Amino acid sequence: MSVETKTLDEVTIRFAGDSGDGMQITGSQFTSTSAVMGNDLSTLPDYPAEIRAPQGTLGGVSGFQIHFGSTAINTPGDMCDVLVAMNAAALKVNLRGLVDGGVIIVNTDGFNDKNLRSAGYDESPLSNGSLSKYQVFPVDISKLTELALADMNLSSKVVDRTKNFFALGMMYWMFNRQVENTVEWLKMKFAKKPEIVESNIRVLKAGWNYAETVDIFTVRYDVKPAKLKAGRYRNLTGNSAVALGLVAAAEKAKLDLFLGSYPITPASEILHDLSGYKNFGVKTFQAEDEIAAIASAIGASFGGALAVTTTSGPGLALKTEAVGLAVMTELPLVIVNVQRGGPSTGLPTKTEQADLLQALYGRNGESPVPVLAASTPSDCFYMAFEAARIALKYMTPVFLLTDGYLGNGSEPWLVPTEAELPDISKPFRTNPENFQPYERDDETFAREWAIPGTPGLEHRIGGLEKKNKAGSISYDPENHDLMIRIRAEKVERIANDIPLAKVDGDESGDLLVIGWGGTYGAIRTAVEKRRADGKSVSHLHLKYINPMPKNIGEILPKFKKILVPEINLGQLIKVLREKFLVDAIGYNVVAGLPFKSTEIEQKIEELLGGL
């Protein structure tokens, strides 16, 4: 039988199995190989909340989705075209994310009575016709893996752990990619365990050969390389990007990086990554709680470090009072909030954008803090760097908002060089003459940074109101009013120092979609698709939320309607309405999931249809 090869512009596939089935490795290997082949791509892992949920249950399903193509890829994909399901639970959980007519490859061994029961199936979906609208390819992956390793004398546990590579091999065949990249990786990764290398390579090739020789697949797909900017690339998650951006900022500021943090999903990876960068002098402190974490960072900042604290929603709630102290003492500090589903413990492993108002307003007193938001995993690098730059230049705490989707998601990152990054160093005050701790720069309103160890600059700071310039305690009413305004003005002045907002698409028209944070990819894709259909719609994505770029007020009136999609009940929209008195329309779904570009497209259609 001849095999037909179809060329696709883009495709989304999802590997799903039990959390012990190695789906993350399978997915990241497919990603790495596709990247090397020059595809643009975006990925999203989907972990179960429980570390070890009972085997075969719905709660234990682990997934990895990759969207790759020869065109620009902005999201990990709304729906998948191909689903690899290693057991019944994986099928059940992921079926609703599969397009009609999509391909399902199942490991039939994962559909025995026990698996079916654990997944809550009364009868096997493979035989009752319920999958008739999909193309189903049942393969006894477990058995075939066993056969491939029959003469290696491995324990059944080891054999079982290898079966994911059989599935990977089949997918490599189906998408016309070679196994070499993964073979090299195995050799490097398990250099000290030749048995593991050998067994995995064998099974990987067995999967590839099986698909090649057995007449079950009639179509193969070709996804050509994308037109990417030339250079060296690396696949990077948002959390790793934040860590790199912070190290880069410390180097370019000629300061040591200090991180005070307390583990919390989905922010912990930043702590893990930074604790491995000791050769850059990075000091990481796993504190007893989030309060101690930020407090230690404030202490380090007083001592002249680039101080950072990283957390997620519940942790930020604990840090609140200390953020106020950093505002009052006017010390530089970067506060990273990798947002997750709330309120309270909420949905730890799910994504959300519901902490914006908390970052803007969630403190006692008039307590202005700059708020930045990263838009893609690799943008996390640049926004972390930018947060540090602003913190140091303006002597202020700065919030960087990312989210679980950005933090865990990854995309190719065009590796920069150190030389491309700006120098953000600023000498400490050392001259004791006429020193006043709260004297300000005329332009930025920043006070000077004078650190312990400097003779003649001994001074005390704290949370009590400061006398203007002198910095001593003051209960004077006029002084308090003045200081409140000075602190607010300092943050406002940052608007002079950030890029103007740029609209993607026409600069005027029927509809402007305004987003912030991790919804960038979904909105971008939706707007581009509608524009390709001739619709008058543009996209504006805010990376600076406080203060906002100075030209926002000029952009908004150029559009007839404004749509603000957010994964919250309408937080940015409140700010826009308040600042610009615009009658913006919200699109809000708070399901713990990233937006699908199609739902935003629908909303755009709905609004433009009514024009």
Partner 1 sequence: MGKLVDDVVTQAEHASVKYVAKDFASDQEVRWCPGCGDYSILAQMQRIMPDMNIPREKIVFVSGIGCSSRFPYYMNTYGIHSIHGRATAIASGLKMARPDLMVWVITGDGDGLSIGGNHMIHLMRRNVDLNVVMFNNQIYGLTKGQYSPTSEFGKVTKSTPQGSIDYPFNPAALALGSSCAFVARTLDREPKHLQYVLKRAAEFKGTSYVEVYQNCNVFNDGAFFQFTEKETKDDSVVYLEHGKPLVFGKNKDKGIKLDGFSPVVVSLTDGMHSINDLLIHNEKDSTLAFIMANMTYNAALPRPVGIFQAIERPTYDGEMSKQIDATISKRGRGSLDKLFASGDTWMIQ
Which residues within the stretch 306-325 sit at the binding site for partner 1 (CB under 8 A)? 306-307, 321-322, 324-325
Q: Does 247 bind partner 1 (CB under 8 A)?
A: yes
Task: Report whether 50 contacts 73 (CB < 8 A).
Answer: no
Cα–Cα distance between 133 and 101 in angstroms, integer? 6
229 binds partner 1 (CB under 8 A): yes
Query: Please, what is the minimum distance in Å from the beta carbon of residue 422 to partner 1?
Result: 13
Q: Which of residues 108-127 bind partner 1 (CB under 8 A)?
A: none
What's the closest the beta carbon of residue 260 comes to partner 1, in angstroms?
Answer: 6
Q: Which of residues 12-31 bind partner 1 (CB under 8 A)?
A: none
- What is d(CA 301, CA 451) in angstroms, rounded to the nearest whole number? 9
Residue 279 binds partner 1, judged by CB under 8 A: yes
CA distance 471 to 461: 7
Q: Does the protein bind partner 1 through residue 427 (CB under 8 A)? A: yes
Out of 20, 32, 504, 577, name the contact with partner 1 by CB under 8 A: 32
395 binding partner 1? (CB under 8 A): no
By the rule CB under 8 A, 253 interacts with partner 1: yes
Of residues 50 through 89, those in contact with partner 1 by CB under 8 A are none
The answer to whether 291 contacts partner 1 (rule: CB under 8 A) is yes
Q: Are the beta carbons of 43 and 31 closer than 8 angstroms?
A: yes
Report the Cα 44 to chain-centroid distance in Å.
9
Q: How far apart are CA 555 and CA 57, in angstroms?
A: 51
Considering only the stretches 5-13, 83-91, 158-166, 246-254, report the one whose residues sit in contact with partner 1 under the rule CB under 8 A.
246-254
If the CB atoms of residues 81 and 379 are measured against partner 1, the closer one turns out to be: 379
* Cβ–Cβ under 8 Å, residues 309 and 261: yes
How far apart CA 142 and CA 571 sit, in angstroms, is: 49
Residue 516: partners with Cβ closer than 8 Å, 6 or more residues away: 353, 356, 373, 375, 541, 542, 543, 545, 566, 572
Least gap, CB of 404 to partner 1 (angstroms): 22
464 binds partner 1 (CB under 8 A): yes
- Tell me: does residue 469 bind partner 1 (CB under 8 A): no
- Give 154 or 392: the residue with its C-beta nearer to partner 1: 392
Work out the burial of residue 213: count CB atoms within 10 Å of its CB; fewer than 13 is exposed, 13-18 middle, 19 or more buried: exposed
Near partner 1 by CB under 8 A: residue from 98, 103, 255, 359: 255
130 or 176: CB nearest partner 1: 176
Residue type, 511: L
β strands within 271-332, DSSP E:
283-286, 306-311
- Position of tokens 């679980």? 404
Q: Which stretch binds partner 1 (CB under 8 A): 151-159, 305-313, 534-542, 600-608?
A: 305-313
- Shortest gap between Cβ of 328 and partner 1 (angstroms)? 9
- Contact track, partner 1, 323-342, x by CB under 8 A: -xx---x-------------
**Is the CB of 261 or the CB of 337 nearer to partner 1?**
261
Element (H, E) at 272: helix 268-275
Residues 132-191 that bind partner 1 (CB under 8 A): 185
Q: Distance (Å, rounded) from C-alpha 603 to C-alpha 565? A: 9
| Residue 258 found at the interface with partner 1 (CB under 8 A) | yes
Burial of 416 (0-12, 13-18, 19+ CB in 10 A): middle
Shorter beta-carbon distance to partner 1: residue 470 or 585: 470
x/- site string to partner 1, residues 524 to 563, per CB under 8 A? Answer: ----------------------------------------
Measured from the CB atom, is 344 or 417 closer to partner 1?
417
- 285 in contact with partner 1 (CB under 8 A): yes
With respect to partner 1, which residue has the nearer C-beta, 39 or 57?
39
Q: Which is nearer to partner 1, 451 or 495 (CB)?
A: 451
- Is position 248 an interface residue for partner 1 (rule: CB under 8 A)? yes
Site for partner 1 contains 281 (CB under 8 A): yes
Q: Which is nearer to partner 1, 80 or 295 (CB)?
A: 295
Cβ nearer to partner 1, comparing 303 with 362: 303
Residues 6+ apart with CB under 8 A from 325: 298, 463
Pairwise CA distance, residues 181 & 189, whole Å: 12
Cis peptide, bond prior to residue 343, ω within 30 of zero: yes
Give the C-alpha separation, 460 to 302, whole Å. 11
Shortest Å distance, C-beta 38 to partner 1: 6
Residue in 73, 29, 25, 14 with CA at minimum distance from that of residue 376: 73
- Residues 470-529 touching partner 1, rule: CB under 8 A, are 472-473
Q: Exactly one of 417, 434, 442, 583 binds partner 1 (CB under 8 A); which one?
A: 417
Using CA atoms, how far apart are residues 259 and 251, in angstroms rounded to an integer?
A: 14
What does the alpha-carbon distance between residue 535 and residue 608 come to, in Å, rounded to a whole number? 8
Residue closer to partner 1 by CB (options 40, 601) is 40
Write down the least CB distance from residue 567 to partner 1, Å: 30
Residues 442-461 that bind partner 1 (CB under 8 A): 451-461
CB of 306 to partner 1, least distance (A): 8
Give Cβ neighbours of residue 469 (< 8 Å, ≥ 6 apart): 436, 438, 439, 440
366-396 core/surface letters (b: 16 or more CB in 10 A; e: else): ebbbbbbbbbbbbbbbbbbbbbbbbbbbbbb
Task: Report the residue from 54, 343, 365, 463 that binds partner 1 according to the rule CB under 8 A.
Answer: 463
